[in-house]
Structures are given as structure tokens and as C-alpha cells.
Structure 1
Amino acid sequence: MEHQGVPDATRGVAVAGRALSPADLDDVAHGRARPVVDGAALASLGAVHAAMEAARAAGAVYGATTGVGANKDVGVGEEQGEHPRAHGLRLLRSHAASLGPVEDEPTTRAALVVRLNQLLAGAHAGLGAGISPPVLGALAEAVRSGALPTMHRFGGIGTSDLAPLAELGLTLVGERPWRTGSVDPVPLGPADALPLISSHALTLATASLALVRVRQLLLAGLGVSALSFLALRGNGQAWAPRVHAARPHLRQPQVAAALSALVAGGPPPARLQDPFALRTVPQVLAPAFAAADALADVLALEASTPGENPLVGADGVFHHGQFHAASLATALDTLRATTFGVLTLSAARLALLLRPEHTGLRAFLAAGPRGSSGLMIGEYVVQDVLAELRPGTAPMTAGTVSISLGLEEHASFATQGARALRHTAELAPLVLAVEALAAVRALRSAPDRLTPGAAALFAVFDEVLDRDARDAPIGPDVQRVVERVPQLALLLRLEG
């Protein structure tokens, strides 16, 4: 086990077109770190812009000299007697749907940082969007100063966050007011509109912030599992590192070793073989940790590479399908499904904790007069939350679509997958919190079952929970546990 450091509010996070981790993005989004824009990378993008201008002058460039979607073969711009800026402004205005909830400020801030970082990646790849220096500079200034546009949720299906990013574009050119702060409006270049909206920046921001919460949840789940194991006098043979080294699925040996260390020296086991809720914790937690790692890798790659359509470089224009977020959608689907398995196993442990034949304590861990209900309602709450989350475990990648006169006939729905992961991150702590409350109550009644390895985890919750266990609303205690989930996660870390 290793203690994780608390983010330094004075710490700078480089926005340079290089690797940008979900954890760094989360720190910037919530004001625990400040973005530091790489001026050299910003300046070097002038060459990519010059390549775009040359390509536009030489022939057809999708979205710059043509319409978009089913209008891909329709010429636009100066040859049709339009002002060079007119088509781009029409594109932004038509795509800024302005529908749905307004995204919160941390998610919006993270989206701007991602969008700038993706554009700066063109400086290193020699292949980029070709956005004009004034628009690029205005976006960089918004990131530096913390200015935020208003971005509505609806209008993306995993083939770029078209509608909300069009709102960003209109804000940069002065047609929309800034939500927070301000940046002087800039003129839109002839080839700026499509590159601004050809990105999954908002989806990546949503997924990244949710992933940080889910990782905290999984670590907390590891700790809560250990507390329940001790309260239930589990048999440590199932978690023996030697067993898991013999079939080393990804992350499983580390999970088993961490769990085994926490419960070492615990009470003699109450059973030769435990129920699945205890026996299979490493097998269920490990795929979720592995899925979180895989999603982090996809997010870091997507946030630090150019993916606009088209891309331009010294060797010409490339029209492509990099806007299709199948890898991201698949990683999101996997993490939601595996996290749900962690939650259902938590619910199963809660059921054991409320049964006297497994704990040797009163039914429902009740106190007070006979017939007291104790934590009986906790199971109802947990099953309600699980029912709420269950539809979100369905793979978003199974969706089908045919839009833009049938020209665009496939989508990843990564955007919806990211929102579903955020919903999981918001509600899932309630499930673990009810289990943790039950485990702490049980260990308070049988303190001899607590081990030195788990004492610090127990203390995180014990110090804030009501000591009067007689029947009363459990909501305040559950909320206190939810608030302590990040603190518990800080005490735990998987090696490797």
C-alpha cells in the first residue's frame, strides 16, 4: 500500500499537445491545478495553418470549400460569391443546437483544455486542423484565463461533439456571451469552423472526470470489501496471493495481494468456504480495474493527438474517419459493465452482513428494542440504485443510425457512453456506502475482528458515523460515508 499525494493547487499542468491524463485534467477542471499553455507549440501551428490555406487554394477541402455531411459535394465560399467567413459562420450557427442541460463548469473547463491540447498536437505530428492563429489564440486565452462558454449537452453521437463545440465557436467569434470571464472576439477564418467542432472534446472531458471518480470508487470498494470480510470472519484462503498467481488475469494478483494484506491476522474463519460475495472479490474487482486502466489509455491518446477531419500537412490534405470513436465507446462500455459487477457483489455482501447466521450479531445489525429494523432499508436503497444503473450497462456500441440523407450510416455513441459512466460515478457510491455503514456497525460490535492492516480504513468511516445505532433515518450516515470515499481511496493503491 502506498499513500497517494493530494494535488497541489499551485501545480501547473502542461497543455502542449502531449499526453494529458484524466487525473491531470480532473485537477485542472476542479481548480486544483492550473493549465500552462505551451507558447512554442502554439506558435509552430502557423505552418499547419499555411498548409491549410495552400490546400484550400489548390482544390476541394471538405468543410472549407465544400458543405458538410450530405452537402460534401456542394461548393461554397468565394467562388459562389460568398464572403470567406460566411460559410463558416453558417456552419457554426446551424450546428449550435443549444438543446439539453447546460454542462457544468468543471466539465466545460476540461473540454476546452482537451480541445486546445488536441489542436496543439498538430505541432508535433506535422499534421493538424489548420485553424487560423487568431481563433487558436483566443481558445488558448480562454484556457489560460478560465473563461467558459455555455455548452448544451445534446448534439453528439460519438462522431464529434458538433453542437456544443459549435457554441464554443460562436462564443469565440463574439456571437454568444461568455458564461464566465471573457475573451475578445476574433474573426473566423475561411477554414476554421469545421476544425473547431470536429472533436470529441466534451465527450472526453465527461469520460475523464467520471473515470477519476470511478477509480476512487473501485479503490474504496477494495477497502470496504476487506472490512466486510473481517466483519463476516471470511476465509482468507480465497484471497491467497499464491492462488491468484497461478491464474494471473490482468490486475487480479495485485487485487488479491492488496486484499490479503488488509485482512492478514484477522479472526479464525467462520466457514470452510465462503459465499461468492466474499470468495470472488478479486475476480470481480480485477476486470473493473483493468477496464479503468484501458479507458485511461484511450482517453490520454484521444486528448493528445490530432483527429480533425480533414487533417492537413506539408504533404497535402487527408480526408478520413478518425472522428469515429469506436475505441472510446468500447472502453466505456467495458468499464460500466465491470463496475456494475462490483456494485452487485457489494449488494450481496450487504445481504450477508444483515444476516445473523453469518455475522453472529443481531439481524439487520439492529440495536434497541426487539423487532428493531436496523439497516433493513439499506437493501431496498441499494437495489433501487442498482435498478437505476442497470440500463446503463447495455453496450452503447450496439446502437445504429442513418443520418444526413443516409450518408453517415454508423456511429459509436461514445458520447452517450460517457454520460452513462458519469451517471454510474454519481450513484454508485451510495451502494458502497450502505455496505460500509453495515461493516462499520458490525465491527463496532465485534472490534476483535479488526486487523492492524484495516484499522486506518475503518477509522475513515468510524470517526464520522453516528454511534447510536438505534432505529433512525440512515441517510445522514450514508451521505457521510459517500463524502469519505475519496479519502478512503487515498489510503489504497494497487501496485503495478
Structure 2
Amino acid sequence: MEKSFNYGTGHLTIGTCLDIASGKVKGIIAPAAHANIRASWLEVGKIVEREIPVYGINTGFGPLCNTHIPEKDTCTLQYNLLKSHSVGVGKPIPTEIAKLMLITKVHALAQGYSGISMKTIERIIWHIDNDIIPVVPEKGSVGASGDLAPLAHLFLPLIGMGEVEEKGNIIPAAEMLKKYRLEPIVLGPKEGLALINGTQFILSFAVKAVKRLHQVLQTADIIGAMSLEGLMGSARPFDPRLHNIRPFKGTRFVAHRLFILLEHSEILNSHVDCDRVQDPYSLRCIPQVHGASRNAWLHLKELTEIELNSVTDNPIIFNADDTISGGNFHGQPLALPLDYATVAAAEIGNIADRRCYLMSEGRYGLPKLLTPDAGLNSGLMIPQYTTAALVTENKTLCFPASADSVPTSLGQEDHVSMGSISGRKLHQVLDNIEYIQAIELLYAVQAMDFRRPLKSTPVLEACHNYVREHVPFINDDRIFADDIKQLHKIICEGSLLKIVNTIAEKNDIKLDNDDEFRIY
């Protein structure tokens, strides 16, 4: 039986949201939500009929909020709103993000505070179910008064305008409607405003970022453990007793993962009595650094899930005589944690770069630049240049967009969040980190090979062997960009994580001891 989710009445999690987008779960409108939607729609009708002044229903927008709109023009007002606010520029956002925008918008509207019609919501769901996704430019939102420009583009196809993507092809919305014998939606009072007022652009980037950053963090622990083995580092700093006396959630979680990943390793046990007093920070402090980023991820996850189940448009319709023009559209509650998560993500790249450098120095019994014949061969000298470039680029992306505000709407909107930029920047940082991790993986497996015949644990050996199936041992110089590309694919597909989970399950190894750090 197909799994389903009840828009408007169910509790939407990040995992469920992603599953709806991927087609694993079908979003539906249950009778209770249907009743709420209809009740709110009827209240808007009363507002128009009684000429009760309510923002965006029978008034102008922004600085024109005191301009009265006659009843006969209230529907035209909504069409004009969609057209005039479609001012986005730049490349289209990823199709998955646009689809998440549709899903999150439906869930917010279906709670019954937005005064939108059932037929409009049904058409949006039709786009989701048929994977016909509007084209949305990436730039133009200031993240307050809602993500106005992106949402306007998102819903132009409802009225036969704009463009959609269908099976990889971009076509005019008017052509799409004709193809499927559909008529443009006739917008009623408040509908245009309900569609474009909200945080769904910021929110959808946050939803996807929670998943991507989670994979980056899980992968970082695995590769960090492999690097530690290659450098013959100590697992003593991961002793749970150490972290129980400084009990940050993320730190304890990472320390547990590393302790279990390295337990009973031949490489580790071979040097327990060596005279090395302590390791460099990039090894010894993995729990503290990776763990701090885990805490930031946990905060982002928590706030994203609150926003997923919130109503973020304006005004809010309780009934015809009780409407509130508030600020639920303001993106600051997500802008700040997105900026925080961007810094947290960048630090995962910073410490990984340091481990790459450490493995290339020729210390702890490793050959310089991890090559048997340094001099004739440059070995793994230059890949670390790439990690250095990427971590520096990430640093430039860490300036918090939410620290800035440029007044808009003739000063009516005099503080804005810029959270849309925060969301986009986080994904740029994650793009770079996935390449950094590919390069660290290249170094780590090469370093582990110089410890043969000693072996690591079953989990880390399985990861090593999988990499060696795709990237051979480096004897002589070659085009390392090809290796990096192959490893980048492994990182992005989550192949290492699948291997780790399979081996851990087979050997009854519990790597993750806190369900709070899961998405599903």
C-alpha cells in the first residue's frame, strides 16, 4: 500500500518532506483539512462582501496598504500581484528545491488560515504528483514579507504564465496547460497573496541542507577515522569518560562513533606503547570539532521542522472579524541557524584540509607526499592546494547574510532577513566540502596502504577496499583530477555510508547511539 501524508493536519518531518518529493510518499488532503480550507475561504468571502478592510484582500500591497481596492477589482489585484512580483534573476534553482517549495506551501495553506480555495491547492498538488515543476530563478528574495519573487515565479503556471520543467525539458506553462487540457486557475481574493507570502524558498533550501549536511557529517567521521589510522593516531581521546565530563551532545556522539569505528584495529593496537605523547589537533580534537558542527546541525534540524509545520503568510485569517497582519513571513528564525550551519559546515572542511596536509608531511613513518618515489613524482602534493583553495572560498561564504538588512517597499519593510541568501550559501559551502572530503579520502586510503600488512577494523577496511575498487594505489604521478572526480561521486552518492551501515548491521555494531541525530 502506498504511504500517504495528510497535508494540513499531519506533522511534516524533514524525512517525510523529502520522501514526498522523491515519490515515496503521496501527500493528500484529508476531510479535516478540506473542512478547514473551505471555512477559511468562506471567511474571505465575507470580508469582501462586507468591505471589511483587510490587508491584501481589499487594499494595496506594501506601502500601498492604505489604498482601498473596490470589490470588483479584488480578483484582478491577485493576478497583478503574481505578475508584478515575478522579478527573479539568475539561474533556475534545482528542480528538487522547487518541488519542496510546492510541498511546503501546500502544507502551510492546508492548515486553514490563508483563505485560499480548494481548487487552487488541488492544482498545486497536481504539479507535485505529476512532477511538472515550475522554473524559479535563484535570486531576488530578501527573505521577509515572504520569499516574494521566487514564490511568484513558482505559481505563475497556475494562471498560465511562466515556465515549467517536465522530464528535463523546460516549456512555457501555457503550452503545458494545453497539453494536459487544463484551464488556468481563476484566482479569488487573497489567493495571490497567500501564494507568494511565506518562507518556502528559505525553508526548502533548509530542508535539503539538513539532509546534505547530515551526510557530510556522517562521512567526515568515517574519513577522519581512516586518516587517523593512516597517521597511526591514538583513539584514547575518544574514550567516553573524557566526554562525559564535558557532555556536549554532538561531541559525545562523534566520540562514540570514532571509538566504535576504531575498536580492535590491528593498526591501532600495533602502536599502543609508542612514545608519541599526543596527536595534532586535527586528529585528537575530531570529537570537539565535528561534534560542534553536529550541534549546529541539530539546531538547524529542530528549527526547520518547526517551520515546516508553521503558517508563514500574511494576513492570518481566523475569521472575518478576526484577522491579524503580523510578521510570520519574516525569515529571521531560519536565516540565523542557516548562517550558523554554514560556519559549522565550513569547519568540517577546514579540519579535513589539515589532515590532508598532515598526511603529506612525511611524518609518523609515512613517505613524503604519500608517494614511494618523491622527487621524480610530485605525489599527493597538489590535491592539498585544491583543499586549501576550497576552504578559503568557504571562509568567504561564511559572512552571515542575516547580519545585513536593506530596507525595501519604500521603508514599510524596513528590516529584512536575507535568509534566502543564507540558504543558498550553505549549499555552496556543502558543494565545496564534498570535494574536500573526496581529496581527504584519496589521502587516507593511500596512507592506510603504507601500514600493510596491518589492517584496520572490518568497517574501515570495507571502506578502504571499496575505494580501491575505483581508485588504484598511487605508485606514479597521474591525472589526480580523475581520481578526485571518482571519489566525489562516491561521497555524493553516500556509498561509504551504505557500506558502513551494512557492515555495522552484519556485525551488530551500534555506531549511532542517539536517535536525535537521525533525519528519519
Q: Tell me if TM exceeds 0.5.
A: yes
Equivalent of residue 31 in structure 2, options 31, 40, 45: 40
Distance verdict in 2 for CA 1:422–1:184, change over 3 Å: farther
Contact 2:332 2:402 in 1 (8 A): yes
Residue 426, structure 1, aligned to residue 431, structure 2: yes
Matches within 5 A, 1:268-307: 268-269=271-272, 271-307=276-312
1:262 aligns to what SS in structure 2?
helix
Distance verdict in 2 for CA 1:469–1:21, change over 3 Å: farther
Shift of 1:134: 2.2
Residue 176, structure 1, aligned to residue 162, structure 2: yes
2:323 aligns to what SS in structure 1?
strand
Percentage of identical aligned residues: 25
Partner residue, 2:169: none
Q: Hey, what's the Cα distance between the residues in 2 that align with 1:391 and 1:24?
A: 33
1:158 aligns to what SS in structure 2?
coil
Partner residue, 1:113: 103
Partner residue, 1:262: 261
Q: Hey, what's the Cα distance between the residues in 2 that align with 1:103 and 1:13?
A: 27
Residue 495, structure 1, aligned to residue 507, structure 2: no
Shift of 1:355: 1.5
Partner residue, 2:65: 72
**Structure 2: where are the runs of 5+ without partners?**
167-175, 502-510, 515-520
Shift of 1:370: 4.1
Distance verdict in 2 for CA 1:432–1:26, change over 3 Å: same
Q: With a CA cutoff of 8 Å and minimum separation of 6, indicate the structure with the bigger relative contact order.
A: 1
Partner residue, 1:393: 398
1:494 aligns to what SS in structure 2?
coil
1:65 aligns to what SS in structure 2?
coil
Q: Hey, what's the Cα distance between the residues in 1 that align with 2:76 and 2:42?
A: 20
Partner residue, 2:489: 483
TM-score (norm. length: structure 2): 0.87
Shift of 1:75: 1.0
Deviations 1:146-180 (A, max 9, x none): 22122112221111111121123321022335433
Q: Hey, what's the Cα distance between the residues in 2 that align with 1:292 and 1:38?
A: 31
1:85 aligns to what SS in structure 2?
helix
1:209 aligns to what SS in structure 2?
helix
Shift of 1:215: 1.0
Q: Hey, what's the Cα distance between the residues in 2 that align with 1:178 and 1:369?
A: 54
Aligned residues: 477
Equivalent of residue 141 in structure 2, options 142, 156, 167: 156
Contact 2:332 2:419 in 1 (8 A): yes
Q: Hey, what's the Cα distance between the residues in 2 that align with 1:41 and 1:379?
A: 57
Distance verdict in 2 for CA 1:103–1:225, change over 3 Å: same
Distance verdict in 2 for CA 1:131–1:274, change over 3 Å: same
1:107 aligns to what SS in structure 2?
helix
Residue 22, structure 1, aligned to residue 38, structure 2: no
Q: Hey, what's the Cα distance between the residues in 2 that align with 1:201 and 1:135?
A: 17
Matches within 5 A, 1:77-476: 77-78=70-71, 82-122=72-112, 128-159=113-144, 160-180=146-166, 182=177, 184-265=183-264, 266=268, 267-269=270-272, 271-314=276-319, 316-358=322-364, 360-368=365-373, 370-447=375-452, 448-476=454-482
Q: Hey, what's the Cα distance between the residues in 1 that align with 2:43 and 2:326?
A: 17
Deviations 1:389-417 (A, max 9, x none): 11221122210211111111111111101
Contact 2:20 2:27 in 1 (8 A): no
2:317 aligns to what SS in structure 1?
strand
Contact 2:89 2:137 in 1 (8 A): yes
Shift of 1:110: 1.3
Considering only aligned residues, what root-mean-square deviation do their CA atoms show, in Å?
2.0
Shift of 1:188: 0.6
Contact 2:44 2:189 in 1 (8 A): no
Deviations 1:108-144 (A, max 9, x none): 111111111111233xxxxx11112222221122222
Shift of 1:57: 3.6
Shift of 1:349: 0.7
Shift of 1:464: 1.6
Partner residue, 2:505: none
Q: Hey, what's the Cα distance between the residues in 2 that align with 1:495 and 1:57?
A: 59
The worse-fitting range, judged by mean Cα deviation, of 222-231 and 34-43 is: 34-43
Q: Hey, what's the Cα distance between the residues in 1 that align with 2:249 and 2:401?
A: 24
Letter in 2 for 1:149: P
